[in-house]
Each structure stands twice: as structure tokens, then as C-alpha cells.
Amino acid sequence: MAFASIVLPAGLVDGLGSRVPWIVVMSLPVLFDAALGSLGASRQLRSLFSGTLVVFAAVAAMIVALLLNAPTPPGVLAAVSFALATLAGWVTGRRWWNVAATLSWFDVGVLIFLGISVLHLVVLGLGVGSLSRFHVLAVLPWGGSNYVAGVMVVMAFVLWSRRSLVPGARWAALAAGAVSVLTLSRGAFIALGAGLLVLLWDAGRTMLTRFLVRVSAMVLVGVGVLGFSEVTQQRSVGGYDPGSNVDARLSLFHMAWEAFVSSPFTGTGWLSLREPSKEILGADISYAHNFFLSFLQIGGLLGLAFIAVFCHFALRCWRTCVTLRPALIAGFAISMSDPFVESAVAGFVMWTILAYGTGTTTEVSAAEVNAFGTRRSRARRAESVTRRGPRRLAR
């Protein structure tokens, strides 16, 4: 329900969905369910939600940063949305990992989310005369074109990792990736290229196959450079200067760093970049468009604590879950140039990935991976099929 709720139209209910993303609304029952489950306090439950207290402490640090910096109503809304979506993403990822060996309702939710988003973008693009115009119009209820494309790229890689279990996952992932490129989002294009590079680098069952695939991955880099140039050229149709976005981001980086230096212990708070960005860039911009600088600006050393926790789980996810590496690196890539982890939908997605990918402490290498995942996951799937039958929805 949480994944599927992302695509609900804004303003469906008065006061909900217009200013607050639907994923935040759905985070409440997700967290309430987890709280009820924790009353059992069984060993299995404690294992399922291991790491939750650390994530909660990291989120609490960002709420403290909010309280220490004269919070405004928009800042409170942004911080609370971030906190709820982050914690709900972590809980969702842990629960998903618990049934990862078989097709589950989590997979159905991702399919609904990506399928409706792709369909919505296709409908928006049918009457558009050019790709540059499509970039402007590719806005969904939960975000603008760059943001939407980035989230869809990351979720496409997540769904691709489930392709051996989820019918239609390959086609849905390919469609999401293709539509994301057509939005002409350069951040999403880089994220897609980074994810594909990692995907190919870890592919192959034999040493010879891995060598050939890795050589092709190097060729992909060259193709990506040409594709990036073409995307930039398409963005320039109509007299628009794509370089202005780069200059604006550099200005945001400088503003965020100056804000951190001015208040290194507590930062300058949520959405405090809006005032200086309006003065310098002529537009209210909420975040620094860079993961590290953004949280340093928001929370200072408190933000640094959040960065440390995020990077700790990201590193663990990279080591223990090879199949999610493309999604992880894609999300990290786009967070370097766009607000991603700070926001509700993308934050929910990224913490779901981290929780899912760190559900086990057993490290695996690329050599242990083939088209159907790791040896451990293949054994779990075989056991699951024996117990429950193939492709049965997990409860």
C-alpha cells in the first residue's frame, strides 16, 4: 500500500495529498503496525528490526536540528515528512527482506507504482511536440521531472533485481528506464548509467563471461558520454541554456557550505536555504542538491551523524546484497546533484533499499552471483517453492 499510494492524485482528500506526499500519510499505518508488532518482543522480531534504533537516533538528530533553529511551519512539515518516510522506509525494507525469497505484495506495490507512473508520463508525452517540452511537462503529483525520473530509475533497478520472481518485472523496469531518459533529466541519466555499469560489472557466471561483460561495460561509458551530450543538446532546444542549472547548483553548494561554516554544530535548519537562494538565484530552493552538503547545512554535526548512519548501512548493503548494488549506486549518484534522501518519496525508497539490503550479515562476492541472485537467495527460493508453491503471494 505504501508503494502504491505514491501515485495517488494530489488533493484527493481535503488537506491531504496537496501539501503532504501520500507516502507520508501511508507511513503512519506502517509505523503503527510495526509498533504493535514490537509488543511481542520475540527474538525473531528483534532480528527483523535490528538497526531500527540506530536509524531512529539518526532521524531524531535531524529533528533536534529543526528545534534548535527557530523552526518555521514549512520547515516543520518538511522535517516531519522526512522523518516519517525514513522510518517507514526502514520498516518496509526489513519486512520485505523477510519474504524476499518469494513473490510478495511488496513486489505488487512496486509494479503498481512504476506501471502507473510510466503510463502517466506516456499520456503526458503523447501530445508534446518535442522532448524539451516533455521535460517541462513531465510532472507527476509526487514530484517534478528530474525528481520523478531519478526515483523511477532507482526503482527500476530494484524491480530488475526481482526479475526471477516477479512476472513482467523486466519489461516494467525497462519501460521505467526508457521513460526516465526521455524526460531529459541529466541527473537521472547519470544515475541510470552508473547503475548499468555496476549491473554489468557484477554479471557473468564464469571468469570469461565476466571479462567480456566488463569490457562491454567500459564501452558503455563511452556511449553514456555521447548520450549525455545528446540529452544536453535536446535540453537546449528553444534557447534554454542547460549550463545555467550547473551554475545554480554550484551556487547552492557554496551557500550550503557557508551555512555549515557559520553554524557547524547545529546547522541552519530545514529549508533555511530558501531565503539566500531567492536573493542570489531569484528562486526559492529548499535544499543544496548534494547529499553531504545538504545535511551538513541542515544539521551541522547532527547532520554529520545522520550522514554517518546512512553511509554505514549503504556500505553494508553494498557488501551483503549484490543484486541491489545497481539501485544503491543509482540513488547515490543522483543524490549528488539533486535533493533525494531529504525528500519523502525518494527517502522512503532509499531507506527501503538499505533495510532490505542489510537484512543479512553474510557478505557475498560478485563471483557468487548469477542471473538468479546469490547462492543464499537461491537456496531460500528453493525452500520457499517447496513449502508454498511457486510464485505464491507471501503474507
Read off the pLDDT of residues 1-11 as tens digits, 9 standing for 90 and up: 888 888 887 65
Q: How far apart are CA 79 and CA 344, in angstroms?
A: 9
- Give the bridge partners for 16, in sequence order: 13
Query: What is the radius of gyration, based on Cα positions, of the chain?
Result: 21
Which pTM does this prediction carry?
0.85
| pLDDT value for 16 | 52
pLDDT by residue (tens digit) across 207-231?
Answer: 777 777 777 777 777 777 777 676 6
132-147 burial by CB neighbour count: b if 16+ within 10 A, else e?
A: bebbeebbbbbbebbb
| pLDDT value for 63 | 94
Check residue 321 and report its DSSP letter: -
| pLDDT value for 139 | 84
Give the chain's end-to-end CA distance (angstroms, integer): 13
CB atoms within 10 A of CB 347: 26
pLDDT by residue (tens digit) across 238-294?
Answer: 556 666 777 888 999 999 999 999 999 999 999 999 888 888 888 888 899 899 999
- Mean of pLDDT values over 321-336: 93
| pLDDT value for 13 | 56
- Mean of pLDDT values over 134-148: 84
